[in-house]
Amino acid sequence: MSVLAKRLQFGWSTPLDPKTGMAGLPPNLADREERTMNWISNYVRPKLKSILKRKEVPEHLWTTCPECAAMLNHRSIDRALYVCPECDHHMAIPPRKRFDHLFDNQIYELVDVPLPREDPLHFRDSKRYPDRLREARKTTKEHEAMLVAIGNIGKTRMVVAAQDFRFMAGSMGIFVGNAIVAACKLCRKEDMPLILFATAGGARMQEGILSLMQMPRTTVAVQSLAEAGLPYIVVLTHPTTGGVTASFAMLGDIHMAEPGALIGFAGPRVIEQTIKEQLPEGFQRAEHLLKNGMLDMVVHRAKIRERIISIVRMLSGLPPPIRGSITYRQRKLPAPVDSAGL
């Protein structure tokens, strides 16, 4: 209500303000409106802000799909094995989560891997190599870029090695070479197959020629499995590139890949810049490599476990896997009759 309307309604006469030429409010109404404004400012507004204020969501509760940008809850991602329910994109999964899915009843034992000397070349780029290692260990809660575990998968004893792309892009250094050698030695000792999940950006540049030496080293270790007649199955995940692709990742008896995985030595951008041509759509993806004979199969992450069980038992000369467990209820036999008492 305007001041003029109030003057006409209540019939008071107040002097005009000499500065503005406007009539002021009577003292009682001015006090009333001031109290009203104080109540709104001191009580109503803070109350509304506290109700409508957006609560901060902790980062560990949500993640974003890198393919479709969908907001995904971490619990739902765990249940879906880090596969986006919106676009079916297979995101990077930590090795321990993969082990929980693979091994029977989530029971497995981690294999000790010999620790190499850290920073043998005293390498430094924008950061010191030890600082990068500390950051990666803090982020992943893992010591290095590969874990090796042993346990039962489908009631068949197996050794599983898995790279962790979160740890410096899963790059292959001396430790990764030690892990593969240790896994192969254990397989030969226990007469077990080796399952390897590869994901990496290549060799670790901070270790220079020492990281490149792991290519022939791991090749010799994998060859020892072939000489012993032990199955070696490689699962290529997104992405698998560089020196990893050029060594142990492409030497398996069976090569399977997850859908949409990028697999190659050099990346598509580097190839395009080199040959000055546009690459076909889907080039270096798992489906393209399957079509051209580079892979044996492309398997959804949720079905990889069952496929591994079937292949390992077939290569090992074992009967097909039994689905589920059969329990027998033992019948209670009657007490034996003492013939001497007859």
**Contact by Cβ (8 Å): 163, 145:** yes
Same domain, 272 and 215: yes
**Contact by Cβ (8 Å): 146, 200:** no
- Residue that the structure tokens 């989530």 belong to: 106
Same domain, 71 and 189: no
Q: Lowest mean pLDDT: which of 224-228, 285-289, 323-327?
A: 323-327
- Domain total of the chain: 2
In angstroms, the CA 93 to CA 265 distance is: 22
Identify the sign of the CA torsion 307, 312, 315, 317: negative
Same domain, 186 and 275: yes
* DSSP code of residue 53: S
Which phi and psi (to 5°) does residue 124 adopt? -150, 125
Question: Which range marks the domain in which residue 77 is found?
Answer: 58-91
Residues written for the chain: 342
Residue 271 lies in a domain: yes
* Residue 262, domain CATH: 3.90.226.10
Same domain, 69 and 147: no
Same domain, 180 and 83: no
φ/ψ region of 158 (left if φ > 0, alpha if ψ in -120 to 50, else beta) reads beta
**Contact by Cβ (8 Å): 161, 198:** no
Same domain, 80 and 152: no
Q: What is the mean pLDDT of residues 7-35?
A: 53
Residue 330 lies in a domain: no
- Residue that the structure tokens 């560089």 belong to: 242
**Contact by Cβ (8 Å): 23, 17:** yes
Q: What is the pTM of this model?
A: 0.76
Same domain, 105 and 76: no
**88-144 residue pLDDT tens:** 999 999 999 999 999 999 999 999 999 999 899 999 989 999 999 999 999 999 999
Same domain, 142 and 223: yes
In angstroms, the CA 26 to CA 7 distance is: 9
**233-243 residue pLDDT tens:** 999 999 999 99
In angstroms, the CA 167 to CA 140 distance is: 7
Same domain, 76 and 179: no
pLDDT of residue 41: 67
